[in-house]
Amino acid sequence: MVKIGKSNVESTPLGLGTNAVGGNNLFPNLKDETGIQIVKTGLDSGITLLDTAFAYGMGHSEELIGQAIKGYDRSKFVIATKAAQDTSDGDVKINNNPQFLKKSVDDALKRLQTDYIDIFYIHFPDDQTPKDEAVAALNEMKQEGKIKAIGVSNFSLDQIKEANKDGLVDVVEDQYSLLHRDAETEMFDYLRENNISFVPFFPLASGLLTGKYSEVVDFPENDIRHGNPDFTGERFEKIVEKVNNLKPLADKHGITTAQLVLAWYIKNPDVTVVIPGAKRPEQVQSNAKALNVSLSDEEYAQIDNDFRNI
């Protein structure tokens, strides 16, 4: 188990990303029943962290998770959710106002049908709210027992420092994968020095790092992968070649390429919890097996180097 920042929250080093659970605004053709099965399969497979957000289906992901967790012992898993999207005027505005964040915690608790949220992230920074004031509002929620750990997501290092002025930030969630390594130079030193956990999003590069792609796919406009430069042109070709090169090492371990890649994050000292998403329960079941994979230092370094300049 790993600990989240300075909080008492603990998790398996592999969790479940749920933007495809009720995230109808991010992917086409999602079915609620499949989403519920994805969550249950995660918990049944020994995964103990569920990563969701208001923005996934504008509350729908949280609602489905609320349904899925009925019958499970709440003390045995942790829920992370996020807010910042203010829809009160009809359109979506990013809002870190203290009152708005407190209301967001209360609203999320209702949708999740639970008494507390283990990790609550400010999903995106706004332009006007001092970040330490936004975090202070979440700290009040923490004192009231409504949340247990404070996180920020999509914040620059300067914004993280401002948010953490009083040392209250437990965890940062940001894009990081074998293909996107900016966080290594931008923030890992600060996070390490300040006992802040790191949760990378898009760890499988939206599926590219599973090794299942050989041809360019034209994703529909209502799919978040539409227009993603990793999935087009020469960059796509180069990524596919690198990912295919992982196959012999995966074969040596008797595992899939996705499990090998997930095991790399689990061994990565700067990654606290890796949260691959899934569209089908079988993917969750398979990804959870990465918890049993152990890479040698040499294997870890080989993968690290192979993807260093991509």
Catalytically active residues, by annotation: 56
278 binds ligand NAP (CB under 6 A): yes
Between 18 and 45, name the residue whose CB sits nearer to ligand NAP.
Answer: 18
Residue 225 CA to residue 207 CA, distance in Å, equals: 10
Give the range of 112-120, 186-194, 214-222, 280-288 binding ligand NAP by CB under 6 A. 280-288
Coil, helix or strand at residue 107: helix
Pairing label, strands 10-11, 93-94: unpaired
Q: Which stretch binds ligand NAP (CB under 6 A): 83-91, 131-139, 271-279, 297-305?
A: 271-279
Q: Is residue 250 near ligand NAP by the rule CB under 6 A?
A: no
Q: Measured between alpha carbons, how far is 172 from 256 in angstroms, rounded to an integer?
A: 28
Q: Of the candidates 187, 204, 260, 288, which one interacts with ligand NAP according to CB under 6 A?
A: 204
Q: Which is closer to ligand NAP, CB of 137 or CB of 204?
A: 204
Q: Is 275 in the site for ligand NAP (CB under 6 A)?
A: yes
List the beta bridge partners of residue 86: 93
96 binds ligand NAP (CB under 6 A): no
CB of 42 to ligand NAP, least distance (A): 11
* Distance (Å, whole) CA 182 – CA 253: 29
d(CA 189, CA 192): 5
Span interacting with ligand NAP, options 109-117, 136-144, 156-164, 278-286, rule CB under 6 A: 278-286
- With CA atoms as reference, report the closest residue to 68 among 29, 31, 112: 112
Size of the site for ligand NAP (CB under 6 A): 26
Is 19 near ligand NAP (CB under 6 A)? yes
Q: CA distances (Å), 44 to each of 13, 114, 224, 276, 288, in order? A: 16, 19, 28, 16, 10
- Of residues 5, 59, 207, 281, which one binds ligand NAP by CB under 6 A? 207
CA gap 208, 215 in Å, rounded: 11
